[in-house]
């Protein structure tokens, strides 16, 4: 049985970048696509691992600190006799490995194995400090079937998509089939969850300004902004996605609060943020019913219940 102690969530930074992208707030969207692709790959990996035979505790997406340095683990799995560290990459296309240097086309990229080894070393020290001597096995998983690495020596701890079935057989064999996890394994997993650090999603964001962002309502279906109001519904002109207007407005208010936490919530600002798609009166009603009013007179504004 695979017990997932810490579920993977969509990264906060990715959510924020998506909001900015929809409103024309990203000049360079490469970070967005990298995060989106990376997350997609990790989700595929999670699904694959969830079908594994034997006993496992999975702790996803850990940000840990040891001896003053931070390290991130895509997927940590506790097995009976060892801890597995999985670094998942969703690279696509032809890559080349030449004398420890990695290339995508002619562009050199960061060595993912080196990253993984550093992570493993830090994790080993951390486990020791917690009183665990379990061996660590690290694997770099290339989850995308369209990925190819030229010149890859077979001895490297790399698993390609085409090898996943055989790799899962190996894991099951290694775990000794019917061997059981103990309370000590569970305690380690819980300890690691406790040590997980939450990173602020705002840290790496590019600069953005309210005035520069497109105003309107973003379609949930396609992420576009070509929507219209029709009989209490917000309807997308591109993908025809329909949503009850109250839900659209509440979502837009939440977006505004996340992107501009310091902005006071007033019906006027939200009317402007939604680009007048919904009447001021409706917005007032939504605010009264879903948020609470703070302050008096001119300085009054709404906050979350």
**Tokens of residue 241, six digits:** 């996605």
User: What SS3 state is found at 217?
Assistant: coil
Please report how close the Cβ of residue 177 comes to Zn ion at its closest, in angstroms. 49
Q: How many residues bind Zn ion (CB under 5 A)?
A: 8
Instruction: Considering only residues 129 through 148, tell me which ones interact with Zn ion, judged by CB under 5 A.
Output: none
| Residues paired with residue 139 on neighbouring β-strands, in sequence order | 86
Does 219 bind Zn ion (CB under 5 A)? Our answer is: yes
Does 172 bind Zn ion (CB under 5 A)? Our answer is: no
Q: Return the number of the residue (83 or 217) whose C-beta is nearest Zn ion.
A: 217
Cα–Cα dist 304/80, whole Å? 46
Cα–Cα dist 289/284, whole Å? 9
Q: In this structure, which long-range contacts are made by residues 119-123, counting pairs with CB atoms below 8 Å and at least 24 apart in sequence?
A: 119/71, 119/72, 119/73, 119/85, 119/87, 120/85, 122/64, 122/66, 122/67, 122/69, 122/71, 123/64, 123/66, 123/71, 123/73, 123/76, 123/83, 123/85
Of 161-169, 179-187, 218-226, 293-301: span binding Zn ion (CB under 5 A): 218-226
Please report how close the Cβ of residue 249 comes to Zn ion at its closest, in angstroms. 17
**66 burial via Cβ count (<10 Å: 0-12, 13-18, 19+):** middle
Does 17 bind Zn ion (CB under 5 A)? Our answer is: no
Q: Return the number of the residue (188 or 219) whose C-beta is nearest Zn ion.
A: 219
Q: Return the number of the residue (205 or 222) whose C-beta is nearest Zn ion.
A: 222
**Tokens of residue 112, six digits:** 């993912």
Q: Interface mask (CB under 5 A) for Zn ion, residues 234-253, using x and -?
A: --x-xx-x------------
Does 22 bind Zn ion (CB under 5 A)? Our answer is: no
Does 222 bind Zn ion (CB under 5 A)? Our answer is: yes
- Contact residues: Zn ion, CB under 5 A: 219, 221-222, 224, 236, 238-239, 241
């Amino acid at each position: 049985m695979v017990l997932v102690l810490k579920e993977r969530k969509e990264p906060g930074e990715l959510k924020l970048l998506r909001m900015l992208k929809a409103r024309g707030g990203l000049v360079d969207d490469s970070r967005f696509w990298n995060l989106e692709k990376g997350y997609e790959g990790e989700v595929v990996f999670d699904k694959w691992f969830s079908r594994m035979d034997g006993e496992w505790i999975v702790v996803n997406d850990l940000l840990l600190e040891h001896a003053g340095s931070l390290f991130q683990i895509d997927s940590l799995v506790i097995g009976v006799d060892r801890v597995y560290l999985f670094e998942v990459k969703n690279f696509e296309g032809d890559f080349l490995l030449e004398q420890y240097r990695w290339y995508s086309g002619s562009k050199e990229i960061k060595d993912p194995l080196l990253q993984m080894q550093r992570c493993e070393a830090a994790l080993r020290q951390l486990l020791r400090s917690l009183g665990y001597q379990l061996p660590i096995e690290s694997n770099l998983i290339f989850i995308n079937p369209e990925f190819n690495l030229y010149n890859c020596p077979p001895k490297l701890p790399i698993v390609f998509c085409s090898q996943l079935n055989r790799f899962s057989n190996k894991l099951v064999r290694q775990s000794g089939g019917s061997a059981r996890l103990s309370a000590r394994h569970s305690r380690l997993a819980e300890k690691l969850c406790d040590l997980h650090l939450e990173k602020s999603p705002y840290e790496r964001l590019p600069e953005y300004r309210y005035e520069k962002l497109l105003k309107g309502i973003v379609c949930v279906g396609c992420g576009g902004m070509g929507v219209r109001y029709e009989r209490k519904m917000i309807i997308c002109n591109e993908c025809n996605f329909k949503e009850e207007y109250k839900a659209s407005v509440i979502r837009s208010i939440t977006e505004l609060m996340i992107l501009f936490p310091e902005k006071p919530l007033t019906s006027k600002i939200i009317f402007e943020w939604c680009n007048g798609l919904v009447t001021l009166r409706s917005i007032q009603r939504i605010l009264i019913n879903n948020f609470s009013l703070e302050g008096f007179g001119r300085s009054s504004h709404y906050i979350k219940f």
